[in-house]
Structure 1
Amino acid sequence: MTGSALLSALAIGIGVGIVGRLALPGPKAAPVWLTVALGVAAALLGSVTIRLIGLDVNQTLPLLLAQVGFAIPAVVVGVVTAGRRGTGDATGS
């Protein structure tokens, strides 16, 4: 993986993590560092996936689409699941 792919994954992940935290409604149980970490990890996963399916990571548009496509759902799921913690006891009632 090239340095530019890593830098773009870092930038996309940070951007999606921060914007996702601000854009999602409701109480924010997930800390900012968690949303940013999820965004960066998912964007890196998008870069790896592009590489594994055989596309060149130097092609900007497919790389960015994969990074954003992986980062947005990861941040949304992370924020939504963090907001559901601690509402009941261990028995589920």
Structure 2
Amino acid sequence: MTATGILVAIIIGAIVGALGRLVLPGRQPIGILLTVGVGIVAAVLGTIIAQNVGVATTDGIDWIELAFQVGLAAVGVAIVAGLQGRRGIR
């Protein structure tokens, strides 16, 4: 993977992670770096799921793929926030 590819993955991960946090109600006690990390993982998994379903190669913006990514990011942020909350962070 090139440096440009890594930079694009980080930017998309940050956007997907932020959208995942926006979908969840309330406050999540996790930092921005953890949000970006969850977003990157969700973006990769969402793309894999979209490719397996057959909706990743469409003209224009892949809205269904984006929905998979944001949904996975919301689930990931909820899981990480729940784990952070159990550690006693207040």
- TM-score, structure 2 length as denominator? 0.63
Structure 1: gaps spanning 5 or more residues:
1-6, 88-93
The letter of the residue matching 2:44 is L
Q: CA RMSD in A?
A: 3.0
Cα deviation code 1:50-69 (max 9, x no counterpart): 10122233351211111111
**Which residue is equivalent to 2:57?**
57
Larger Rg: 1
Q: Supply the distance in 2 between the matched residues of 1:9 and 1:64 (Cα, whole angstroms).
A: 16
Cα deviation code 1:25-53 (max 9, x no counterpart): 26x2x332112101221121011111012
Moved >6 Å (runs of 4+)? none
Number of matched residues? Answer: 77
Q: Contact 1:9–1:43 (CA<8 Å) still a contact in 2?
A: no
**Which residue is equivalent to 1:70?**
72
**Which residue is equivalent to 1:15?**
15
- TM-score, structure 1 length as denominator? 0.61
Q: Supply the distance in 2 between the matched residues of 1:18 and 1:69 (Cα, whole angstroms).
A: 12
